[in-house]
Amino acid sequence: MKIARYYNNNDIRLDEMPKPTIGPGELLVKVKKSGICGSDILEYYRFAKMKKLGVDNLILGHEIAGDIVEVGEGVKRYKKGDKVFVSHHVPCFECHYCRQGHHTACNLLHNTNYDPGGFSEYVRIPSINIEKKGVIQLDKSVSYEEGVFIEPLGCVCRAQRLANVKKGLTVVIIGSGVSGILHVQLAKLRGAEKVFATDINEYRLNKAKEFGADAIFNATEDIPTKIKKLNNTLLADIVIVCTGALSAANQALKSVAPGGTIIFFAVPEPGVMLQVPINEYWRNEITIMTSYGAAPDDLQEAYTWILAKRIKVSNLITHRFSLSNALEAFKVVCEADKSLKVILEPERE
């Protein structure tokens, strides 16, 4: 079968390997659509994983939708021909972190995956991913392309639940890529009174407005002043950081109101330190928190929104490429110009 091997953002090679062989309790899924995540182009993140594994390349891809083509002995819930989304990571539901609701801090979640990765024609789904609620059967009304968004939207659902985005609040989203625009849509559905979005890219800013932002700001402007002008002289109740730029993190620190929350959905690379005005934050009871990944309940919530057509996802797809053109696809993502979600289609040649 064909695969795309990732060496770095400028070196992605089409290759072949044997189609995975499944065992008892496992599934083989033919990948129809596979999204490129913003984390896929974080070279420091990918290089660290390569070093840990002792390899010089990876087969990435964790936003997939496809069809079950083989069912291992003992699998009862799924059958050949089912259209599915499959989560690459699953928590154990039993450890201390899972019991405290921090499923994405679970050691199992950090050490599970499907084989070999979503940028391939087929993936083997281990039994643990099936047992731990990592497979969602898609309704016939949900397309493969919509299924690709279950994982990124699940991450957004988790972050907004943790930050308690709710009716009447003012939410500022820093960074208007795919995740930022999903945050815009979900915040409105959760009842936020005002949702503002920022970015340095005018194309993405206009897209954020198109998908429901009440106002958009170029990130090079004085964002706190802009927020106050449109929010009765108040800063934001919740600030969601969707870019790893240090300037964005510092901007978030200045944009949050007393009693408010900053949630880092994206963070700067390792070694970058953030100076927090802790005395000011102490006096104003400001919360700083993080959100990583998605757990099965978050993915199920995302699927529910998509199934109900309440969150628009298909129109976020701007580019589609074959596996043989994966390098070109990655260049589009890295350039971050007039693009949002970029999809790889293993059957497209």
What tens digit of pLDDT does each residue of 33-84 get? 999 999 999 999 999 999 999 999 999 999 999 999 999 999 999 999 999 9
For residues 289-303, give the mean pLDDT: 98
**302 domain residue, yes or no:** no
Report pLDDT digits (tens) over 311-347.
999 999 999 999 999 999 999 999 999 999 999 999 8
In whole angstroms, give the CA distance from residue 155 to residue 149.
Answer: 10
**241 domain residue, yes or no:** yes
271, 324: one domain: no
**297 domain residue, yes or no:** no
81, 166: one domain: no
170, 45: one domain: no
**162 domain residue, yes or no:** yes
Percent of the chain with pLDDT over 70: 100
Q: Is residue 349 scored above 80 in pLDDT? A: no
In whole angstroms, give the CA distance from residue 168 to residue 175.
Answer: 22
Percent of the chain with pLDDT over 90: 99
For residues 232-243, give the mean pLDDT: 98
The model's confidence at residue 161, banded by pLDDT at 50, 70 and 90, is: very high
**pTM for the whole structure:** 0.97
220, 337: one domain: no
- Report how many domains make up the chain: 2
Q: What is the CATH number of the domain that holds 274?
A: 3.40.50.720
137, 185: one domain: no
51, 112: one domain: yes
274, 334: one domain: no
What range does the domain containing 242 cover? 155-290
pLDDT mean across residues, the chain: 97
Report pLDDT digits (tens) over 248-258.
999 999 999 99
The model's confidence at residue 156, banded by pLDDT at 50, 70 and 90, is: very high
268, 220: one domain: yes
Q: What is the CATH number of the domain that holds 120?
A: 3.90.180.10
pLDDT for 16 equals 97
pLDDT for 348 equals 84
